[in-house]
């Protein structure tokens, strides 16, 4: 199977993950006006499973390193299979809340709060489990990103005051999603052997783990999203019949969003083989920076903000960039 051999390539894959995880919500934004996120989300989870399986039977089944995907997944123990599956369930619960927060409060708010909290918890939990990298640089990076979250919240309060609407629900959903985001990655990491070229009894390689993760996401969606369709956070209930009324564009955008996010996950897991799980997850969660750029400059979510807000946004970007550089340097 294909694995990453150098730290430099691992950093590149982590940056690609950051871009993927920060850009996929644009697919939901493109159809959000006429297509409920609960319906969008069914195609999204299908896209995640599709890309993880596709990469497993291609990259994960060719090459001289490690164990090919089919042999690897059939030799995995129940504990490893369950751990990766559970990671998918936890992620799905978080992401449904997160997509709802994007629909209610916008990318510029949901990402700094949700992804920021997820980054802090994820880096800490993964570092405690498998210490890798300089703790001082990691903590400095986390501190800078916490500062970026605070600045982002301040900018949003200024915008809310002008628009005379405060989406408290959007902020709460983002925070709840962030807490769950902080733990799903640890369960995937726990299911895998640390050195991807040296299999361990009962554990899995990166491709098998991500396929089990995608399976957990899809199956749990029949519980989480079905409940949300019947009891939506906003708007009237929707049915499975409504899903089949969507256009090809509606379904394609959902599938594309899942493919983009799922590809980012596989790249993140592969990069963890060289950077360590804490650093790989931390860099991937820089998606908040990418999403904020989309939200501010493309979707113009702060165009009605009062004077001085732009300076806060640029300060937020600076803190995020500095924090990510600290995390990146932690193992250089």
Task: Please give the residue that has the higher pLDDT: either 70 or 149.
Answer: 70
Buried residues in 164-192 as b, exposed as e (16+ CB within 10 A): eeebeebbebbbbbbebbbbbbbbbbbbb
Instruction: Report which of 44, 55, 50, 38 is spatially closest to residue 2, judged by C-alpha positions.
Output: 55
Question: What pLDDT sits at residue 71?
Answer: 93
Q: How confident is the model at residue 132 (pLDDT cuts 50, 70, 90)?
A: confident
> What is the CB-side half-sphere exposure of residue 242 using CA atoms within 13 A?
16
**Count of CB atoms situated within 10 Å of the CB of 312:** 18
Question: What pLDDT sits at residue 64?
Answer: 82
Residue position matching structure tokens 């051999």: 5
> What is the CB-side half-sphere exposure of residue 81 using CA atoms within 13 A?
9
Average pLDDT over residues 27-47: 92
- Write down the pTM of the prediction: 0.90
Q: How confident is the model at residue 140 (pLDDT cuts 50, 70, 90)?
A: very high
Question: What pLDDT sits at residue 108?
Answer: 64
Residue 248 has pLDDT above 70, yes or no: yes
> Could you give the angle at the alpha carbon of 150 between the alpha carbons of 181 and 145, nearest 5°?
55
Greatest alpha-carbon span in the chain: 60
* Token digits of residue 100: 């709802």
Q: How confident is the model at residue 258 (pLDDT cuts 50, 70, 90)?
A: very high
What pairs with residue 76 in β-bridges?
Answer: 202
**Count of CB atoms situated within 10 Å of the CB of 256:** 17
pLDDT digits (tens, 9 = 90+) for 188-210: 999 999 899 888 988 999 999 99
Question: What pLDDT sits at residue 107?
Answer: 66
d(CA 109, CA 174): 8
d(CA 93, CA 279): 24
Question: What pLDDT sits at residue 320?
Answer: 86
> Could you give the angle at the alpha carbon of 291 between the alpha carbons of 133 and 103, nearest 5°?
130
Average pLDDT over residues 12-40: 91
* Token digits of residue 159: 């915008």
Sign of CA dihedral 19, 21, 27, 29: negative
Residue 166 has pLDDT above 70, yes or no: no
- Give alpha helix (H) positions in 24-167: 25-31, 37-57, 69-74, 78-105, 107-110, 116-129, 135-163
Instruction: Report which of 43, 15, 11 is spatially closest to residue 247, judged by C-alpha positions.
Output: 43
Question: What pLDDT sits at residue 90?
Answer: 97
Residue-averaged pLDDT of the chain: 90
4-13, 86-95, 162-171, 172-181: lowest mean pLDDT where?
162-171
What pairs with residue 202 in β-bridges?
Answer: 76
pLDDT digits (tens, 9 = 90+) for 104-118: 777 667 777 887 788
| DSSP states along 232-301 | -SSSS---HHHHTTS-HHHHHHHHHHHHHHHHHHHHHHHHHHHH-HHHHHHHHTTHHHHHHHIIIIIS-T
Residue 286 has pLDDT above 70, yes or no: yes
**With contact defined as beta carbons under 8 Å apart, do 114 and 171 qualify?**
no
21-30, 163-172, 243-252, 297-306: lowest mean pLDDT where?
163-172
d(CA 78, CA 67): 18
User: Which residues lie closer than 8 Å to 173 by C-beta, 6 or more apart?
Assistant: 97, 98, 100, 101, 104, 105, 110, 233
């Amino acid at each position: 199977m294909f694995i990453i051999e150098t730290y430099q390539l691992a950093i590149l894959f982590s940056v690609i993950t950051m871009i993927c995880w920060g850009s996929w919500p644009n697919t939901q934004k493109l159809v959000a006006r006429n297509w409920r996120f609960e319906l969008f989300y069914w195609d999204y989870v299908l896209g995640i499973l599709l890309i993880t399986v596709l990469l497993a039977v291609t990259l994960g089944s060719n090459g001289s390193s490690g164990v090919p995907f089919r042999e690897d997944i059939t030799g995995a123990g129940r504990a490893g299979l369950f751990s990766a599956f559970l990671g998918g369930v936890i992620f799905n619960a978080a992401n449904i809340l997160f997509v709802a927060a994007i629909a209610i409060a916008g990318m510029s708010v949901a990402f700094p709060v949700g992804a920021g909290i997820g980054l802090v918890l994820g880096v800490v939990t993964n570092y405690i489990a498998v210490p890798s990298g300089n703790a001082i640089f990691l903590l400095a990076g986390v501190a800078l990103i916490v500062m970026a979250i605070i600045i982002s919240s301040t900018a949003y309060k200024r915008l809310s005051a002008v628009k005379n609407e405060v989406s408290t629900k959007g902020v709460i959903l983002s925070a709840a999603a962030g807490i769950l985001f902080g733990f799903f990655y640890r369960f995937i990491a726990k299911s895998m052997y640390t050195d991807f070229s040296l299999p361990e009894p009962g554990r899995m390689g990166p491709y098998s783990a991500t396929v089990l993760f995608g399976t957990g996401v899809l199956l749990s969606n029949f519980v989480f999203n079905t409940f949300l369709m019947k009891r939506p956070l906003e708007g009237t209930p929707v049915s499975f019949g409504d899903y089949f009324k969507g256009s090809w564009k509606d379904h394609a955008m959902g599938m594309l969003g899942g493919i983009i996010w799922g590809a980012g996950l596989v790249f993140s897991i592969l990069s963890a083989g060289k950077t360590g799980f804490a650093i790989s997850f931390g860099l991937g969660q820089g998606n908040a920076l990418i999403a904020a750029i989309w939200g501010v400059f493309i979707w113009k979510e702060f165009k009605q903000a009062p004077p001085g807000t732009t300076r806060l946004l640029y300060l937020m970007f600076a803190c995020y960039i500095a924090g990510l550089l600290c995390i990146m340097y932690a193992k250089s």
